[in-house]
Amino acid sequence: MTKKQKLFCTVILVACAPMPASLGAQSPEEYQKRRQAVRSKMEPSSVMILRSGAQSDEGARFRQDNDLFYLTGVAARNTSLILYADSRATGSQPAGPGRPAGPGEILFLSPPAGGRAPADQKPPERPGFEAVRSSSEFQSYFDRTLLDTASVVYFDYQRSRNLNGPLTADEQILKQARDRGAVFAVKPASSLIAPLRRIKSPAEIELLKTAAAITAEAQKEAMRTARPGLYEYQLQSVIEHVFSFNGARRPGFPTIVGSGENSCILHWSENTRQTRGGDVVVLDIGAEFDMYTADITRTIPVGGTFTKRQRDIYEIVLKANQAAIEMVAPGVDMRDVSERVNEVLTEGLVRLGLIKDRSQLRRYYTHGLSHSIGLQVHDVGGLGRLEAGMVITIEPGLYLPEEGFGIRIEDDVLVTERGRAVLTEAAPKTVEEIENLMKEDGLDYSRYLLKGPGR
């Protein structure tokens, strides 16, 4: 096998591996159970309205609203969902008081593109839904629902940003309904959905495992390719190449490649600096696969070897990372895990003479330890006491801006019935593992790298 063939196979490792059968195929029954769980929590006679997210940038790839996707599995534009606490919708519009019972949920979809005129086309069938209508009918259902509901409307609507500014389109619709005598309270739909999203199903866990596997491969390829003189954005391009080649068509969040002093900036994503010998580089990255995102951070020496000072700090952070992971289990309070991490970091910094006691730790450790991941990189539902099915990050870090470097190590951890499973073990983490991998050949970009006056 030639060197080029070896490099190519390295990048497509995840793509060539057998994929779990459930990938991209959460069952209609699973989405149906979620909708039933939400309806069971809704107040009597209430209604929930969810719509596709607005597209923020013209030409940008559309991404579905997380809650709507969680309840429907539909990733297409112009999708809406109406859920009724009571099965009271019937005929061509929602039923009012005293009208006969009908479907308790209506999914609105756009008809397929092409062929006959859109008005003559039916929306595609969706297994598991009680009723499916064309997206062109949604507005009339929406208006009628507001006028007929005499209880609560669960609706995450767009709000104006100041008291003196104009009302948003959503606020105008709510006002018009009330002006016509409608009496209802508006509550956030997310308040009922977020607790459900906290615990991941087996199908969701498989998606997160795949996102983590792709992200780990990207970390490894960035380690192989890194060398002094590369720009941060060039390492970013290597990372996102591995993502897309393996079916993760976008990052779950802006890719962070922070070298030198930028390694001390928590959410640095400009990625404009040219790396230099002696730098460490913080790679905080996550592939999004079928709407679910991983989140792995590794810190590497761009020249292939940590200095003694960098290694000393790295080993403290690694010890904290490992101590936290060992505590993850059902019933554990994350405050206790954070406290243990604080102890480990404090002990290490005191030993190096950087601080005198715990009260000075925040000088070098400036962020929280953990967050949930799922449909968002900072997923909803909170942490608190851990339960089986949660997927969380463990990410201690130490930052020494006066010395021009920071260290962060982050893993994704599934809480299991008996303890934990680290989803990101494939990403090298010890000093020896990182330095050994960085001796291998990375992507050969010399064929297309411009040289000379044209650069």
Question: What residues are labeled active site?
Answer: 57, 267, 284, 295, 367, 371, 378, 395, 399, 408, 410
Hey, which bits of 269-425 come out as E strands? 280-285, 287-289, 292-293, 296-301, 391-394, 397-400, 405-408, 411-415, 420-422
Q: What are the structure tokens assigned to 394, written together? A: 């463990």
Q: What are the structure tokens assigned to 288, written together? A: 């999004």
Q: What angle do CA 41, 32, 376 make, to 5 degrees?
A: 75
List CB contacts of 104: < 8 A, sequence separation 6 or more. Answer: 39, 83, 84, 85, 86, 87, 88, 89, 130
Residue 240 DSSP SS3: helix
Radius of gyration of the chain (CA): 25
Are the C-beta atoms of 213 and 16 separated by less than 8 Å?
Answer: no
Are the C-beta atoms of 85 and 118 separated by less than 8 Å?
Answer: no
- The closest alpha carbon to 223, from 406, 10, 392, 446, belongs to 10
What does DSSP say about strands 152-155 and 185-187: parallel, antiparallel, or unpaired?
parallel
Give the DSSP per-residue string, 367-413. Answer: S-S--B-SSSSS-SS--SB--TT-EEEE--EEEEGGGTEEEE-BEEE
Are the C-beta atoms of 205 and 79 separated by less than 8 Å?
Answer: no
